[in-house]
Chain A
Amino acid sequence: MFAISLMNGLVMGVIYALAALGVSLVVGIMNVVNFAHGELYILAGYFSYLFASALGVNFVLAMVIAVGLVFFLGLLIEYLLIRPTYGNDMYSLILTFILSIVLQNAYLLIFGPYPNKPPLWVQGATDVFGLFLYGNQRLAALAAGAALIAVIFVIIKKTWFGRIIRAASQDREMAELNGVNTTRLNMLSFGLGCALAAAAGVILAPVFPVTPTAGVPVALTAFVVVVLGGMGSLWGCVVGGLTLGLVENFGAAFISSGYKNVFGFMILILVLLVRPSGLFGRAKI
């Protein structure tokens, strides 16, 4: 029981971290909260289902296409909906909220209320340390999620793009004085934020099938993780995501699965009582 909860917690934690990284990136750079984050996560799941199951494209290629399409959709959303609202955070909040409702209903019309599932990457199960059998697909999801997070951190730490992201999230005007085109940076980071939601979506969809509203709890959890880890802190997303994934699964296993979602909020409240700026947040940004 303990070991299975640990594995489940890690898988969910990595996915939460990925989804939260996307939110955190956009909040840190643009000060925009994208309420349609969960719907983009689901959209990527639908895309990978559509390409792999319905059109018979290779599953890896289907995932890459799905993430790519959501990235471009993100660029488009920034250009059409977010860019005209700069200077008033409330408008972008309302617009992305409307977008999330529109997308949910569009999915309902197009795909119906039934769960859809892209094919598994791998079949069967593996004996983990001689303790229990664990689905290979979940292990693959864990590995893929962890690898993606590692790649993101290398990009943030080592490349020009990463340097600009860190600089702009600390002092936007100064980054602009250093020659950064912040309009283009906004567009790119919004697209990337959406692509991270999409990556989480395609990784998790074979395990948890997509439905029109399945994105809501994921987005909600991503927001909780961002606040838990500290606004704008990327490390906070990883630690916060793993913490939340583990706490939820241990709580469900040892206390009651009925309260699964309560545990996350309890942790959030406890952390915020002691550290109002989150685990890795700066006191003031």
Chain B
Amino acid sequence: MIRAVGLSKRYGSVDALRDFSLDVHPGEIVALVGPNGAGKTTALKLLVGLLAPTAGSVSLGGYDVQRNPVEAKRLLAFLPDQPFLYEALTVGECLGFIGGMYGLAPEVLQQRANALLQTFGLMERLNDRVGELSYGMKSRLALIMSLLHEPHAFLLDEPFFGLDPQTLRLVKRLLMECAARGMAIFLSTHQLPIVEDVAHRIVILHQGRSLAVGTWEELRRLYGGTRLEEVFFRLTSSGP
């Protein structure tokens, strides 16, 4: 579903990402971990087409992100680390807007929005302005907005940041359910214990290079250690 081949990105003399290749299959959750400045956000932005690669290519569902952006974006959902929300609109209006952007039929929009609002406990806030919501509620709304069109590929940048334990568990469960329904999920995070729980495969990125790719079992077998944190520090050599 998500395929990156030889992806590189250069900012002046700095290589933000070097020869990054990846395949995320339907029903799979792949987590990208790495220290700050490793190139995680750059990789995600390249995958969704917000940045043009210096070399390499990205395709989503067979559509090249650079050549067929509209078709590719119809299949994907992207949740940035700081999602853009219209603070002056109500929750319902935001959902109406995003439904309109993806061309959802009114009855489909209504049905999906109600289901997601129930799941995330935002039904009571439907007529409240986004600006009045707490950070956690805004994060939940951003997730609902991402999932409203039932994407085939879901890319998330730091989705667990600032969430309370209940929402955290809800998001984890939701991601696993989405994957079970066949969605390809690619997320970047610093929350290593969560990665152990949810990710089918893990990519460790350091200084723009992919150092290791594999399941948690494979990484443990190859690099030793009982926790992902140990493997992470061993590979990135910047641990305490």
User: Is the A/B pair a real complex?
Assistant: no
Where the two chains meet, the residues of B that have a C-beta atom closer than 8 Å to any C-beta of A are none
